[in-house]
């Protein structure tokens, strides 16, 4: 599997755009694929808002972390799992669970590929050097360096 350098600076700019779209009232439109996750900074104690792609599966929200447990928002969750979420016009609190099991992460990737074959296939190809329809073995190998977070909404 070839490794591609992902431009994280460009991703920060995309995240700014997503936050702006929510701020100007377009949350219901953007919220179909992007949620705003609010964590508590592990060192600062300040609220940190991160726009992330998600999948809703059986009433829970699944988020992929391409940088794995090195992602700041994941590290914040490891320190304090209570989170706030905004999806479209809906807001709720929940508890976030960090999952690093490659098999469970591969299950999540299979759901994403099934629901969004073009978008996720392109990400697999461009960001990870995989075919657009990777094998289960390739997904599990990719998942060894990544993590996902499952948000369990409060009832």
Distance CA 5, CA 32 (A): 28
- Rounded to the nearest integer, the mean pLDDT of the chain is 88
**Share above pLDDT 90 across residues of the chain, in percent, rounded to a whole number:** 67
Helix, coil or strand: residue 147? strand
List, in order of start, the domains of the chain with CATH numbers: 8-153 (2.30.110.10)
Tell which wins on pLDDT, 24 or 141: 141
Q: What is the pLDDT of residues 18-69, one digit of tens each?
A: 767 676 776 676 778 889 999 999 999 999 999 999 999 999 999 999 889 9
147 in Cβ contact with 63 (< 8 Å): no
């Amino acid at each position: 599997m070839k490794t591609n350098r992902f431009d994280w600076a460009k991703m920060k700019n995309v995240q700014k755009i997503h936050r702006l779209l929510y701020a100007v009232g377009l949350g219901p439109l953007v919220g179909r694929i992007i949620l705003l996750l609010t964590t508590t900074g592990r060192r600062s104690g300040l609220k940190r808002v991160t726009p992330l792609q998600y999948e809703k599966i059986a009433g829970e929200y699944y988020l992929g972390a391409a940088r794995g447990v090195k992602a700041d928002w994941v590290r914040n969750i490891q320190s304090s799992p209570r989170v706030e979420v905004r999806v479209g016009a809906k807001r709720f609190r929940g508890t976030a669970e960090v999952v690093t099991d490659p098999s469970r992460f591969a299950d999540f990737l299979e759901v994403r590929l099934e629901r969004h074959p073009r978008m996720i296939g392109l990400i697999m190809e461009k960001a990870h050097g995989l075919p657009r329809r990777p094998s289960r073995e390739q997904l599990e190998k990719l998942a060894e360096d990544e993590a996902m977070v499952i948000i369990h909404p409060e009832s």
